[in-house]
Amino acid sequence: MEAAGMTSDRHHDLLERAACAARETWDVIIIGAGIAGGTAACVGAEAGLRVLLIEKFAFPRPKVCGGCLSSRGARALERVGLACVLEGLPRLDTLSLRWSDRRADTAFAMHRVVARPAFDLALLRAAMARGVTVLQPLAARVVGDGLVRLTPEHVARAKAVMACDGLGGTSLTGLEEFGWDIHPRSRMGLGATLECGASPLPAGRLVMRCASPGYLGAVRLGDGTLDVAAAIDPRAVRAGGDAGATMAALFADADLSREALASATWRGTPLLTRRRRRIASGRTLVVGDAAGYVEPFTGEGMTWAIEGAIEATTHAIGMARKGHDAAAWAAAHEGLLASRRRTCSLMAGVLRSRAATRGMVSLAARFPRLAERGARLVAGVR
């Protein structure tokens, strides 16, 4: 059980609550309180399910993410009564694409900017306000059909289990049927938060800087700090010596100084482009990044997680109330996300060609209206 940094009183309290949770049969146990898990918990509780939500880290916790939430994702949250978590979020107005010394500025008004530690905490609070029981910080594991290990001594049971534990999650470790297929040329993610004064980048502008081994996005958050996130070939990071040196060498420009990039505290992710061999079996549904991901140029991961969680929760409701199994979730997930994943993979392919990337930035600079329409299409927003 993960409980680093807790006082012994709080640790004892968590163990007691885990013991209580293990005495009940839950309608649904959700593992991971990121975007997918937080959304699913709210939707499930709103539908009257008894929900147990388990999160490995104490919140707020950092998360590598570009922080741009599409209007499609925001609308999905509004539809399920979660407009409260969107209040006060700043909006983007401009996308600034850069390659070497080429630059194209395009109107880009369909995204909000979220600081993930605060946003995920807001979702968690919304879930608690809806009556969800939360165990945190605690790493859970699926150990059988409808069985979730909370501690070495305690196993909870549920009619449906939603694994929403992201790319680096451990809830399905050791269950062969849920193994990963990872793309052999996958990039990894790197992210950092820069201090307010570290860059002149104005609020409302998303800078996407492309280079051969990857790309980096930077955006100003509501509190004035700068969110910086990159997808990059891990070989480039190894060759660069460390993340800061690599980021500084590849992406420094007028908005992001070499010093700021080199001295930032970078967090890494596992390889990004991957999918599970199976995302539904018996009572287990796999949701959000935990089900699969494509590298993030189009900035859709949070929207996929939100829409996926809402749809998956309707399956969990059927499992809890009518004894259905999880099988139908695999086809629903495919219908919901397959074509957008293909667009995203196509973009990832374009961005691996220097000539195509240069051409894309040049074209966007010459035809800004066309670029605006293209950006909407690629971001999955009409």
Ligand X SMILES: Cc1cc2nc3c(=O)[nH]c(=O)nc-3n(C[C@H](O)[C@H](O)[C@H](O)COP(=O)(O)OP(=O)(O)OC[C@H]3O[C@@H](n4cnc5c(N)ncnc54)[C@H](O)[C@@H]3O)c2cc1C
One residue of 41, 43, 68, 115 binding ligand X per CB under 6 A: 68
- Taking residues 10 to 49 in sequence order and writing x for each that binds ligand X by CB under 6 A, - otherwise, the string is ---------------------xxxxxxx------------
* DSSP state for residue 289 in the 8-state scheme: G
- Taking residues 187 to 206 in sequence order and writing x for each that binds ligand X by CB under 6 A, - otherwise, the string is --x-x---------------
CB of 118 to ligand X, least distance (A): 13
Distance CA 104, CA 308 (A): 33
Is residue 170 part of the contact set for ligand X (CB under 6 A)? yes
At residue 218, the 3 state secondary structure works out as strand
Q: Would you say 233 or 300 has its CB closer to ligand X?
A: 300
State the number of binding residues for ligand X (CB under 6 A). Answer: 43
Pair 221, 67: CB distance under 8 Å: yes
Q: Indicate the pairing of strand 280-281 with strand 284-286.
A: antiparallel
Pair 204, 90: CB distance under 8 Å: yes
Cβ density class 293-319: b for 16+ within 10 Å, e for less: bbbbbbbbbbbbbbbbbbbbbebbbbb
At residue 210, the 3 state secondary structure works out as strand
- Taking residues 293 to 312 in sequence order and writing x for each that binds ligand X by CB under 6 A, - otherwise, the string is ---x--xxxxx-x-------
Pick the piece of the chain touching ligand X (CB under 6 A) from 7-15, 43-51, 287-295, 372-380: 287-295
Neighbours of 224 (CB within 10 A): 10
Neighbours of 289 (CB within 10 A): 26
CB of 241 to ligand X, least distance (A): 20
- Please report, as a single letter, which amino acid is at residue 302: M
Pick the piece of the chain touching ligand X (CB under 6 A) from 56-64, 274-282, 344-352, 371-379: 56-64
Is residue 229 part of the contact set for ligand X (CB under 6 A)? yes
Cα distances (angstroms) measured from residue 143 to each of 22, 171, 283, 348, 360? 13, 9, 12, 36, 48
Is residue 96 part of the contact set for ligand X (CB under 6 A)? no
Q: Would you say 44 or 288 has its CB closer to ligand X?
A: 288
Is residue 289 part of the contact set for ligand X (CB under 6 A)? yes
Cα distances (angstroms) measured from residue 9 to each of 1, 133, 134? 15, 19, 17
One residue of 27, 46, 165, 255 binding ligand X per CB under 6 A: 165
Q: Would you say 10 or 366 has its CB closer to ligand X?
A: 10
One residue of 15, 29, 47, 65 binding ligand X per CB under 6 A: 65
Binding residues for ligand X, rule: CB under 6 A, are 31-37, 54-57, 63-69, 139-140, 164-166, 169-171, 189, 191, 229-231, 269, 272, 288-290, 296, 299-303, 305
